[in-house]
Amino acid sequence: MSAIHFPSIFRAVQEIFPDTVLRTGFSTEHKTAFIAAADLRQGLGYKATTQRFVDGLREAQGRGTTQGGTPLYLGEELVPTAGGPQRMTVLYKRGVFHLLMRSDLPKAAEYRDKVFDLVEQVEREGFVVNASAPVEQLQTMKVRAQETIDELLEARLQERKDYRTIIRAVRDAGGYDRDFADVQNMIYLGLFGMTAQTVRERQPQVSGERYKRDFRGKKAGELRPSKSAKDFLTKEQLKTLDDGVLYITSLLALRHSDGLMTLDDIKGAALDFGAEMRTQRARRAGQGVTA
């Protein structure tokens, strides 16, 4: 884990445009800082109108999505002027960041390199600590980080526990994550008539990690969006999944008592299981029995 000094986006803007008057403020509605779009347009040397300047951001805001909903690039806020406060087009952090990433100004390129360095560190080390963060934030960071890591570990271990035998078999046979995904989809198709992705698309999420506090329109206690298909299964479906995995691992143990098996052996067992489940569903449907 690394500690780095990473300036805020607005401090970076002030360093990039030291000769430009930048009117900034804080939105009480959105709980975030902003900068007058006209001022940033002037700093970037954009000749057209402010509305033309922000057209691209309007499009980005209209088509983008985040975990908290629609991303906030720009809006309208009261900005102090010589004639008194006026409602003006402003840019929030994401909008300013978007423009700096596209600027060729030397200071903007320097800031962009810092962002790329940060992303590389996160990929390499898992997370980094902003050494420029306020004391209060640093004091609470340790506890929050530990809680998050514990939750992620618990969820990851629980997910792997259910498939531990199959995962081990796939890896021992020289397979990778893609091969396990194939086996998983064979199991889901056999049990539920849907792939893992289709389960996530068609069924509501019923379990998973929850928000610890209010965040971008989400309330504390609400479920965070999950990419794990298991979080979209009902209790009955989870029980069926456990039984299905047990069936396949037992079948593999009978067929390969020495523990030596190939990827084709594992996928063959999953396919046989899927075929058996489809046959049973068809039989129940023919008898008028609900699966």
The maximal CA–CA distance of the chain, rounded, in angstroms, is: 85
Is the pLDDT score of 21 beyond 70? yes
Please give the pLDDT value at position 153.
67
> What confidence category does residue 91 fall into, taking pLDDT thresholds of 50, 70 and 90?
very high
Is the pLDDT score of 10 beyond 80? no
Using DSSP's 3-state secondary structure scheme, residue 210 falls into strand
Is the pLDDT score of 98 beyond 90? no
Going by the DSSP 8-state scheme, the letter that residue 30 receives in this structure is T
- A 10 A CB-CB count for 23 gives 15
Burial 267-278 (b: 16+ CB within 10 A, else e): bbbbbbbbeebe
Is the pLDDT score of 14 beyond 90? no
Dump pLDDT digits (tens) for 185-221: 888 888 888 998 999 999 999 888 887 777 777 777 7
> What confidence category does residue 87 fall into, taking pLDDT thresholds of 50, 70 and 90?
very high
Please give the pLDDT value at position 7.
60
Please give the pLDDT value at position 69.
60
Using DSSP's 3-state secondary structure scheme, residue 84 falls into coil
Please give the pLDDT value at position 193.
87
Please give the pLDDT value at position 205.
92
Work out the average pLDDT over 119-142.
76
The two structure tokens encoding residue 253? 């143990």
Q: Is the pTM of this model over 0.75?
A: no
> What mean pLDDT, rounded, does the chain reach?
80
Dump pLDDT digits (tens) for 229-277: 889 998 888 888 888 888 888 888 888 887 788 888 888 888 888 888 8
| Sheet with 24-27, side-by-side order of all strands | 24-27, 32-36, 86-92, 74-79
Dump pLDDT digits (tens) for 141-194: 777 777 777 776 665 555 445 566 677 777 777 777 778 788 888 888 888 889
Is the pLDDT score of 2 beyond 60? no
Q: Which H or E element spans position 78? A: strand 74-79
Please give the pLDDT value at position 201.
92
Q: Which residue has the higher pLDDT, 92 or 142?
A: 92
Please give the pLDDT value at position 278.
81
Please give the pLDDT value at position 199.
92
Q: How far apart are CA 245 and CA 191, in angstroms?
A: 10
Dump pLDDT digits (tens) for 34-44: 999 999 888 88
